[in-house]
């Protein structure tokens, strides 16, 4: 008798767990070349402030080793490479080869060399030794992971005692009037911008749906605690549209 196929969500669609990674790959293959432009248009540039605050909360010091998951075009890795200095190491990773290649070209253009390394990595199966990393970050990527609990457990395992994880992700607005405006923007305007800029309306409709399916602030904090992280907290930004979750391995 065949084992029953486990399912998960791909936006609002229910799919087999084994299919989600390839479907997410299709989304980012489609939008990779215009990813940075779309980020600026979608957030009116505010994503740069969100990422800057995440870097500040990370507390990176010279000589440390940082793993940036779902690094995309490298906004966080770019800053981390400066902070760890030549004695440190930044591992810039993404499950999507197209995004990683664009990010690597961008980092080369910015003159990074020596302390920045690249790898195609699945967040659920981190190929790094136990207790080897000072910090793990993932910005706008956790919601696309098939098994979030498995990914959080993998991050915990790879961190050194005293290390920390930071998750920057869309979340649940905490201001009631903002919810309706946010829904109108996400499901009406965002797909149209995607169609105009990338000629791909469906991918940006999926992105809006994936945000709604992502755990809210308290749920995600509970998931991090279940994975073993302590002193977990979160910081709401832009009225809770985005939140930065942080946890420590003590």
Contacts of 72 (CB under 8 A, 6+ apart): 35, 94, 99, 103, 139, 140, 141
Copy the structure tokens of residue 213.
Answer: 């399916």
In a domain, 14, yes or no: no
pLDDT the model gives residue 1: 41
In a domain, 91, yes or no: yes
In a domain, 186, yes or no: no
Contacts of 28 (CB under 8 A, 6+ apart): 35, 96, 98, 99
Q: What is the CATH number of the domain that holds 65?
A: 3.40.50.150
Q: How many domains does the chain have?
A: 1
Q: 162: exposed, middle or buried (C-beta count within 10 Å: 0-12, 13-18, 19+)?
A: exposed
Give pLDDT < 70 ranges for the chain.
Answer: 1-5
For 107-142, how does the pLDDT look when each residue is reduced to its tens digit (9 = 90+)? 999 988 899 999 999 999 999 999 999 999 999 999
pLDDT the model gives residue 4: 57
Cα–Cα distances in angstroms (integers) from residue 127 to residues 121, 124, 132, in the given order:
8, 10, 11
In a domain, 95, yes or no: yes
- Closest alpha carbon to 139 in 173, 103, 107: 103
In a domain, 64, yes or no: yes
In a domain, 179, yes or no: no
DSSP lists the bridge partners of residue 247 as 165
The pTM (predicted TM-score) of the whole model is: 0.93
List the domain range (segments joined by +) for residue 132.
26-174+206-248
For 97-112, how does the pLDDT look when each residue is reduced to its tens digit (9 = 90+)? 999 999 999 999 998 8
For 23-43, how does the pLDDT look when each residue is reduced to its tens digit (9 = 90+)? 998 989 888 888 888 888 889
């Amino acid at each position: 008798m065949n084992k029953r196929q486990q399912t998960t969500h791909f936006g609002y669609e229910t799919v087999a767990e084994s299919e989600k990674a390839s479907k997410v790959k299709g989304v980012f293959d489609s939008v990779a070349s215009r990813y940075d432009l779309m980020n600026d248009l979608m957030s009116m540039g505010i994503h740069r402030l969100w990422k800057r605050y995440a870097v500040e909360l990370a507390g990176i010091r010279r000589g440390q080793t940082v793993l940036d998951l779902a690094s995309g075009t490298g906004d966080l890795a770019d800053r981390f490479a400066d902070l760890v200095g030549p004695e440190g190491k930044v591992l810039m990773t993404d499950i999507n080869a197209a995004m990683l290649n664009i990010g690597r070209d961008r980092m080369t253009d910015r003159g990074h060399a020596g302390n920045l390394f690249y790898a195609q990595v699945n967040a659920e199966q981190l190929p790094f030794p136990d207790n080897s990393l000072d910090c793990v970050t993932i910005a706008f990527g956790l919601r696309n992971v098939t098994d979030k609990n498995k990914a959080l457990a993998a991050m915990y395992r790879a961190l050194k005692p005293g290390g920390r994880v930071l998750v920057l992700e869309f979340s649940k607005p905490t201001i009631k009037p903002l919810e309706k405006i946010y829904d109108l923007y996400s499901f009406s305007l965002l797909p149209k911008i995607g169609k105009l800029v990338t000629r791909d309306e469906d991918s940006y409709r999926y992105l809006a749906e994936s945000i709604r399916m992502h755990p809210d602030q308290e749920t995600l904090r509970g998931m991090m605690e279940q994975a073993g992280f302590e002193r977990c907290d979160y910081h709401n930004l832009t009225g809770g549209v985005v939140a930065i979750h942080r946890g420590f391995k003590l």
